[in-house]
Amino acid sequence: MRGLVIKSTGSSYIVRMDDGSNAECRIKGNFRIRGIRSTNPVAVGDFVTVEDEWITDVEERRNYIIRRSTNLSKESHILAANIDQVALIVTVNHPVTSTTFIDRFLATCEAYRVPAILIFNKIDLLTEEELAQLADLRALYESLGYKTVELSAISLQPSDLSPLLEGKTTLLSGNSGVGKSTLLNALFGKEMTRTGKISDAHDKGMHTTTFSEMYFLEMENGKRKMENGRIIDTPGIKGFGTIDFEKEEVSHYFREIFEAGRDCRFSNCTHTHEPGCAVQEKIITGDIAISRYESYLSILNDATEGKYRA
C-alpha cells in the first residue's frame, strides 16, 4: 500500500496511508545500504510503499533539501522531500543568524530548485540599531528576488502567514532558538510542539523539536474541514554544510554572482583571482554584497577541498 511519511523518529516512521490511516513503520537493515549515502534514506515528505508495516520502497523524489550530516560516517542528511517551498526562520539577534548560514541554505534551495522565503522573527526584541540591520538584510535579499517577511511569533495571527502557506508543502527550518516552535503553535492556535528558552549564558537556542514531522493546515469549507497546506517542522540546526556541489557550479547558486559572471573575460572564471572578472568589479562598486561573496567563497572552499564528498 502507498503512503506519505509524516514523521521520522530515527528508528521508525509514521506513514499516512492512502486510506487516511496512520501506520508506524520501519525499514530493514539492508534498505539503508542500497546505494543511499544518507543518515536517513527515508525522509518526511517521501511517498513510500508499505508491506506489513515495513517500508519496502521509496518513490522518486520531486525534490529535497539536503545538508552535510554531522555524523561523519555518512555523507548527508535529507531534511525533507517533495516540498513546494522553504520558510527559513532567521533572527537578527536572540540568537544571531549568520548571513553565511542564510546564504548556504539559500544556495542549496537554488541547487534543488526549491523556492525560499526568509521570515525574520523576534522583531519585538530588537533595538533601533538592530531594526536598521534588519532593514538592510531585507533590502539585500529582496533585491535578489527572495520574498521576506518580518514578524513576532508571540503575537502572530494565523492570517498573517496563511496566504503564503495555503495549498503548499512548506519546510520550516532555521537555527535552534529562532522561534520555529512558537511560530508553529501560533499558526495552529494551539500547542503543536514544545517551546524552549534561550540560553542566558550564550544567547543561543536549545533544541525543543526532536524529530521531523509534517503538520496539516486545515480550513473550514461549510461544515467540512479541508486540508489546505502542509508544514514540515524540523529540529533546529546550528550550521549548514553543503554537499555535492561541484566547484564549477557554486556560482550558479548565487543569483547576482551568476548574472555578473556572464561578463567575465573567462568562461570558467572562479571569481577569485582571474583578470577581467566582472564579479570582482561589482564587489568593488558595491553591487555585490561582501557578505554574499564571503558565503560564496566558503562553499567554493568546501567543493574545492572535497570536504563533504566521497
Model confidence pLDDT, tens digit, residues 211-238: 899 999 876 554 445 568 899 999 877 6
Q: Maximum distance among all alpha carbons in the chain?
A: 67
Cis preceding linkage at 95, omega within 30: yes
Share of the chain above pLDDT 70, in %: 81
Report domain 2-60's class.
Answer: mainly beta
Q: Give the pTM.
A: 0.86
Range with the poorest average pLDDT among 29-43, 157-171, 178-192: 29-43
Cα–Cα distance for residue pair 72/80, rounded to 1 Å: 20
Q: Give the mean pLDDT of 123-142.
A: 97
pLDDT value of position 309: 39
β-strands 13-17, 22-25 pairing = antiparallel
- Higher-confidence position of 81 and 160: 81
pLDDT score, position 224: 46
Q: How far apart are CA 226 and CA 130, in angstroms?
A: 41
Q: What is the mean pLDDT of the chain?
A: 85
Q: Is residue 63 within 8 Å of residue 114, measured between CB atoms?
A: yes
**CA neighbours within 13 Å on the CB side: how many for 224?**
2
Continuous segment of H or E residues that includes residue 107: helix 99-111
Cα-Cα end-to-end distance for the chain = 35
Note the CATH number of domain 81-233. 3.40.50.300
Give the mean model confidence (pLDDT) for residues 8-27: 92
What are the residues whose beta carbons fall under 8 Å from the beta carbon of 261, sequence distance 6 or more?
251, 269, 271, 278, 279
Domain boundaries, given as residue ranges, for the chain? 2-60, 81-233, 247-305
Of the candidate CATH numbers 3.40.930.10, 3.40.190.10, 1.10.40.50, 1.10.3720.10, the domain formed by 247-305 belongs to 1.10.40.50
Query: Percent of the chain, pLDDT > 90?
Result: 61
